[in-house]
């Protein structure tokens, strides 16, 4: 009987242990699930909490800028002299000219560069059926950049690399009608008014770099959104957004403020920023890296501009309109942020998976797309003009060879669209790094150079307007000589 009793007691004890282990395991599993839901999903978050969480990750879209940079090549260009040889041809076109005419056109380029000594020059030759149509020479000599074409001028037309923003504003570049100006104009913001002190070659990663400590510190500005009323936040499950032609099923969280609420929020954020020396020092340091004018890099000056903006917003909130911010998440990743204020909108898209990363930045009618797929990089600039004409340039770039083997080569497929007209081109370039690049020409003859910055605003404007007319005339004439009907480069 004793043996049977002990056996029963042992079985009961084993049963209790199994129950205890089961309970503990269940508790651990539930705890793990709850922790996962808390830290990795929006299950326990309010609409406001989920919105703030995803909004803070919007800056991840800038990671694509770093991913498309080739550090070894950029370092080699800065530290070594190099010789570059490039060739471009037209593959196909629509509403431009017959293919048998375009097939004969070639654009050949030879360039030499010495970054350390701030010297480079480039010769571009345009030929048709092996006959040269035109030749363009471009020179950089220290702070001076010049271009020469004998059909246009008998002198190098150059600019000094200082007060570039003011210079572009003086010549009314935003209304030049060329693709770059239309792209800027499409943003509907004045991006040429005394913004840049000079154009510098800066490292994008340094400008975008933000330490973990800094990220944590700047979270306090996002936390200010917690003071906004709960009713300002909405959630839309099973929403749909289209990014780069692909449909995505998302959950969208939106903050909507009326004009007065928008002005008050902006005022609160600006007050907190301008009273925080660490924040202002961080911002002005980043702007200084891009060599912007003192108007933006001096803390006191930037403080005044921000306070003036906040004050104007409060005094005239209808001028800036309502503020709406939406974040759309797919699989707990913020793939789209939309900011709308008044008639303006900013859209930031970011998708990353496996070996592919995509970012699209859109301001009103203009957008920039950056995409990396393994070794293939795609860049696209697109805008819609005031006349509702779509203009775009798409560049697909692939790298062959390496700097170390001194056989670096890039192959490009380029598509240019201007309304109903389009061109498909291929461009290939080969780099040779080393000291044996030959003479790099500079501005030897000072009498043969026109420096536009040295003239007053009226003189520069008059000269540039005449220059545009001359370029249009030569461009159309050269096209006509080979049977191609071309539209003017510049519009007025």
Handedness of CA 150, 151, 155, 159 (dihedral sign): negative
Provide DSSP, 312-352.
Answer: HHHH-HHHH--EEEEEEEETTEEEEEEEEETTEEEEEEEEE
Is the CB of residue 197 less than 8 Å from the CB of residue 162?
yes
Is the CB of residue 62 less than 8 Å from the CB of residue 208?
yes
How far apart, in whole angstroms, are the C-alpha atoms of residue 225 and residue 209? Answer: 24
Tokens 């009273």 -> residue: 275
Tokens 């003859």 -> residue: 445
pLDDT at 464: 86
- Count of C-beta atoms within a 10 Å radius of residue 323: 22
Rounded to two decimals, what is the model's pTM? 0.82
Q: Which of 469, 442, 402 is nearest to 114 (CA)?
A: 442
Long-range contacts of 410-416 (CB under 8 A, 24+ apart): 416/392
3-state SS class at 69: coil
Q: Which of 104, 12, 11, 85 is nearest to 481 (CA)?
A: 104
How far apart, in whole angstroms, are the C-alpha atoms of residue 473 and residue 460? Answer: 20
Is the CB of residue 390 less than 8 Å from the CB of residue 417?
yes
Residue 390 structure tokens: 């779509």
How far apart, in whole angstroms, are the C-alpha atoms of residue 372 and residue 397? Answer: 10
Task: Indicate the burial class of 319 (C-beta count within 10 angstroms; 0-12, 13-18, 19 or more).
Answer: exposed
Q: Which residues contact 267 (CB under 8 A, 6 or more apart)?
A: 310, 311, 313, 314
pLDDT at 38: 45
Continuous H helices in 195-258: 204-208, 212-223
- Count of C-beta atoms within a 10 Å radius of residue 255: 22
Q: Which of 315, 293, 316, 295 is nearest to 304 (CA)?
A: 295
Q: Which residues contact 357 (CB under 8 A, 6 or more apart)?
A: 63, 64, 67, 350, 351, 371, 372
Is the CB of residue 274 less than 8 Å from the CB of residue 280?
yes
How far apart, in whole angstroms, are the C-alpha atoms of residue 280 and residue 164? Answer: 24
Q: What is the largest CA-CA distance in the chain?
A: 122
Is the CB of residue 65 less than 8 Å from the CB of residue 379?
no
Residue 253: phi and psi, rounded to 5, are -110, 135
How far apart, in whole angstroms, are the C-alpha atoms of residue 268 and residue 447? Answer: 56
Residues β-bridged to residue 357: 352, 372
Q: Which of 115, 112, 91 is nearest to 102 (CA)?
A: 91
Residue 41 structure tokens: 């999903």
3-state SS class at 458: helix
How far apart, in whole angstroms, are the C-alpha atoms of residue 143 and residue 264? Answer: 45
pLDDT tens for the chain, 492 residues long, are: 455 555 666 666 565 656 556 555 544 544 444 444 445 554 435 888 888 999 889 888 888 888 888 888 889 999 999 999 999 998 888 877 777 788 888 999 999 999 999 999 999 999 998 899 999 999 999 888 999 999 998 889 998 887 777 777 777 766 666 667 777 677 666 666 656 666 666 677 777 777 777 888 888 888 888 888 889 999 999 999 999 999 999 999 999 999 999 999 999 999 999 999 999 998 888 888 877 778 888 999 999 999 998 999 888 888 888 999 999 999 999 999 999 988 889 999 999 988 899 999 999 999 999 999 988 999 999 998 888 888 899 999 999 999 999 999 999 999 999 888 888 999 999 999 998 888 888 876 656 888 888 888 888 888 888 888 898 899 889 888 888 777 788 776
Is the CB of residue 141 less than 8 Å from the CB of residue 164?
no
How far apart, in whole angstroms, are the C-alpha atoms of residue 47 and residue 253? Answer: 7
How far apart, in whole angstroms, are the C-alpha atoms of residue 88 and residue 99? Answer: 15
């Amino acid at each position: 009987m004793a043996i049977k009793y002990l056996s029963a007691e042992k079985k009961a004890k084993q049963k209790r242990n199994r129950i205890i282990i089961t309970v503990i395991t269940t508790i651990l599993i539930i705890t793990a699930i709850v922790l996962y839901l808390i830290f990795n999903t929006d299950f326990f978050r309010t609409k406001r909490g989920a919105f703030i969480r995803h909004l803070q990750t919007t800056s991840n879209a800038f990671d694509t800028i770093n991913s498309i940079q080739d550090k070894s090549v950029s370092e080699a260009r800065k530290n070594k002299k190099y010789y570059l040889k490039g060739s471009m041809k037209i593959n196909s076109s629509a509403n431009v000219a017959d293919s048998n005419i375009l097939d004969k056109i070639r654009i050949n380029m030879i360039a030499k560069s010495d970054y350390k000594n701030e010297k480079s020059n480039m010769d571009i030759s345009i030929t048709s059926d092996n006959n040269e149509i035109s030749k363009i020479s471009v020179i950089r000599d220290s702070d001076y950049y010049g271009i020469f074409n004998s059909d246009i001028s008998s002198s190098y037309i150059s600019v000094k690399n200082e007060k570039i923003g003011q210079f572009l504003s003086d010549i009314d570049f935003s209304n030049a009608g060329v693709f770059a100006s239309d792209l800027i104009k499409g943003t509907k913001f004045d991006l040429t008014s005394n913004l840049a002190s000079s154009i510098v070659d800066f490292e994008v990663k340094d400008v975008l770099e933000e330490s973990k400590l800094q990220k944590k510190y700047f979270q306090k500005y996002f936390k200010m959104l917690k003071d906004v009323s709960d009713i300002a936040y909405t959630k839309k499950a099973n929403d749909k957004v289209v990014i780069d032609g692909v449909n995505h099923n998302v959950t969208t969280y939106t903050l909507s403020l009326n004009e007065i609420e928008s002005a008050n929020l902006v005022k609160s954020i600006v007050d907190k920023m301008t009273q925080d020396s660490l924040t202002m020092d961080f911002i002005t340091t980043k702007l200084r890296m891009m060599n912007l004018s003192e108007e933006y890099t001096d803390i006191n000056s930037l403080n005044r501009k921000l306070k003036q903006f906040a004050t104007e917003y409060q005094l005239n909130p209808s001028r800036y309109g309502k503020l709406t911010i939406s974040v759309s998440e797919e699989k707990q990743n913020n793939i789209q942020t939309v900011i709308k204020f008044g008639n303006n909108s900013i859209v930031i898209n970011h998708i990353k998976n496996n070996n592919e990363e995509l970012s699209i930045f859109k301001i009103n009618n203009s957008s920039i797309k950056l995409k990396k797929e393994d070794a293939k990089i795609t860049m696209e600039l697109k805008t819609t003009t005031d006349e509702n004409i779509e203009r775009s340039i798409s560049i697909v770039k692939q790298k062959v060879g390496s700097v170390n083997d001194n056989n670096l080569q890039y192959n490009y497929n380029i598509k240019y669209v201007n309304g109903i007209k389009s061109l498909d081109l291929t461009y290939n370039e080969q780099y040779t790094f080393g000291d044996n690049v030959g003479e790099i020409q500079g501005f030897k003859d000072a009498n043969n150079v026109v420096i536009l910055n040295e003239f007053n605003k009226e003189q520069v404007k008059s000269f540039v307007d005449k220059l545009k007319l001359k370029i249009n005339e030569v461009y159309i004439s050269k096209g006509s000589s080979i049977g191609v009907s071309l539209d003017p480069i510049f519009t007025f």
